[in-house]
Structure 1
């Protein structure tokens, strides 16, 4: 049996007729940037996340930059973020001229640890970025308390967490501003690049809209510095269709995760994902830990099972951030995860047989290792 890591072709087949119709409407009207398809999607995406405003942008990375830019973060400022995340979170900081300050993660949820954040706050700290990693919401209570006590911004990087919840509230509206990614492999994926910025602050929403469109308040009236971070109409059309099915796809992801948990429970040397207390994990990724991660990955490859590594080189160990002075050993939990984490196949269309096949082979490898 072959089991892909995800299957975007199968996902497309499930919505093909609706998607093709929406794309054809964009082509027929020849309005390719922003426009009614994007506006309709923005309204529905904001509503789905209990937020007042959603602004469609060109990518999640651009959304990270826009969020900080709109808040006025810049040179001389520090922004605290987890060392255990994808590097795009850091680009949003560096593009403003601010300095990223990395902190270690919680060993159970893999998310940013409020206790570590508290130790990292200085007089230069302007913001904390909470990444809802793998679709698991961060501990927003602890982070919000720190933000309020220190008069700093709380930002959500929800690139992997569409429809995730923390204590009954949707992520995306739990801080001052948030960013989402619609990279094709995300739970809600475009057919190209795309992202969104969410906020409940009217003034921030106006700023983000201006910045994404060359700083224009209206055509040729540039009220601020800006850039071209606009969403394409075709992506708005695609996302508008797929959003209708996102809750059902999320339910299926959670069912698959439950089956993995059931099948892989009590295996020596295998650590399963832990859902944040009070959270609703949406399982963009299903990530386990195992000491012989590379051995298991190679074994699964040989069985036709595609797995992933998220993320094998911690951000603080990347060459591009050498100038910040971090060293191996600074963030032991993050570094252990980089060596031990393995992402198993996870997509809504997975069959029961595929989940069982993956589970059986993980168990077989783990059992063989335990008897050596």
Structure 2
């Protein structure tokens, strides 16, 4: 029986071309800066997002936290959405690593109100009680599945420049965002000073993310990466897969989006299932099946028996994530299986 894994796009396996590239990779000691494949990956990654330099890091969380650690002084404040990945899913690392305070704002489906951002920016010289705002963070695509408009990013970036505050973009799925907006990714990343983006997830590399920004920022980040334990040695084996991911996998992300749209549309036709159709911008489908009256834990187990791996509900909502290894035929099978289970 084929296994269809809809838990996340983090479950993707590397393609055969990635495996071949890893096997044949030219490597060196990256801490000594003599791994040719890592050097190539960092140069290419910086180029495609329109930044001066880039740094290979183990994960998206590592890249985000390294950015906070590099941009900010201890005790400073970071403005970001209360539902952002840095707040909800990075283990409170900002307090441990960068030693910063997170000043969260309520978002509108992941989008921050520029006026709210502007009035939250603080400077310690304005009042002895204030911490300084050290950084503003945005997320695109958002982990709720929606893509933030370029206009919103531009407005916040202009406010930040006026106030001399840097902006970091959590762009774990920024290429999904670019595919949804049908723009070159640089049209998104020009409205941030640093950006973290994943080579894994929808791009299928087995491990790794990139942190990109100015040469000065990356030079500073490189030392802090070493402090965090991210100074890898013969990392070219991993970088080789990352190069394939960036050169060959970005353009096909729209296929995952189309499969998610199909999945969401057909799920919404099943009695008792409520699909957040307006959230399907990329490869994520969120839905509530509580009105079916079917026990959620039993549903997860019965789907597993049919070879479909899913996560249990979180806050009453289930999430299915399409990816390179989930075909349209797989989507059809998932839908048929759900109808069979729920018809009992």
TM score, norm. by length of structure 2: 0.74
346-355 vs 76-85, greater mean Cα deviation: 76-85
Which of 206, 215, 220 does residue 202 from structure 1 map onto? 215
Q: Could you tell me whether the CA contact under 8 Å between 2:25 and 2:237 is conserved in 1?
A: no
Alignment pair present for 1:271 and 2:275 = yes
Cα distance in 1 for partners of 2:244, 2:335 equals 32
What is residue 77 of structure 1 aligned with on the other side? 77
Cα distance in 1 for partners of 2:157, 2:9 equals 40
Cα distance in 1 for partners of 2:299, 2:91 equals 32
- Residue 80 of structure 2: SS of its match in structure 1? strand
Alignment pair present for 1:164 and 2:174 = no
Deviations 1:84-128 (A, max 9, x none): 53422852464211111233343xxx4244279549725243322
Which of 309, 317, 326 does residue 350 from structure 1 map onto? 326
Q: Could you tell me whether the CA contact under 8 Å between 1:60 and 1:195 is conserved in 2?
A: yes
1:351 is displaced (CA, Å) by 2.9
Which of 160, 175, 188 does residue 203 from structure 2 map onto? 188
Map 1:305-320 to 2 at 5 A.
305-308=308-311
1:40 is displaced (CA, Å) by 1.3
Map 1:7-22 to 2 at 5 A.
11-12=13-14, 14-16=15-17, 19-22=19-22
What is residue 251 of structure 1 aligned with on the other side? 254
Q: Could you tell me whether the CA contact under 8 Å between 2:94 and 2:101 is conserved in 1?
A: no
What are the ranges of 5 or more consecutive residues in structure 2 without an aligned counterpart?
Answer: 123-130
Cα distance in 1 for partners of 2:11, 2:315 equals 31
Deviations 1:176-227 (A, max 9, x none): 1111234x5x1134434x221122x333233223433x4xxxxxxxxxxx54
1:172 is displaced (CA, Å) by 3.9
TM score, norm. by length of structure 1: 0.69
- Residue 217 of structure 2: SS of its match in structure 1? helix
Deviations 1:111-155 (A, max 9, x none): 244279549725243322212324643245335424533623321
What are the ranges of 5 or more consecutive residues in structure 1 without an aligned counterpart?
Answer: 215-225, 313-337
What is residue 102 of structure 1 aligned with on the other side? 104
Q: Could you tell me whether the CA contact under 8 Å between 2:257 and 2:282 is conserved in 1?
A: yes
Cα distance in 2 for partners of 1:8, 1:113 equals 26
Cα distance in 2 for partners of 1:89, 1:273 equals 30
Alignment pair present for 1:149 and 2:159 = yes
CA pair 352-141 structure 1, distance change in 2 beyond 3 A = closer
* Matched residues, number: 313
Alignment pair present for 1:129 and 2:137 = yes
Map 1:279-318 to 2 at 5 A.
281-283=281-283, 285-291=284-290, 295-296=295-296, 298-303=298-303, 304=306, 305-308=308-311
Deviations 1:69-90 (A, max 9, x none): 3223421424333335342285
Q: Could you tell me whether the CA contact under 8 Å between 2:173 and 2:198 is conserved in 1?
A: yes
Cα distance in 1 for partners of 2:290, 2:43 equals 45
Q: Could you tell me whether the CA contact under 8 Å between 1:143 and 1:154 is conserved in 2?
A: no
Alignment pair present for 1:49 and 2:49 = yes
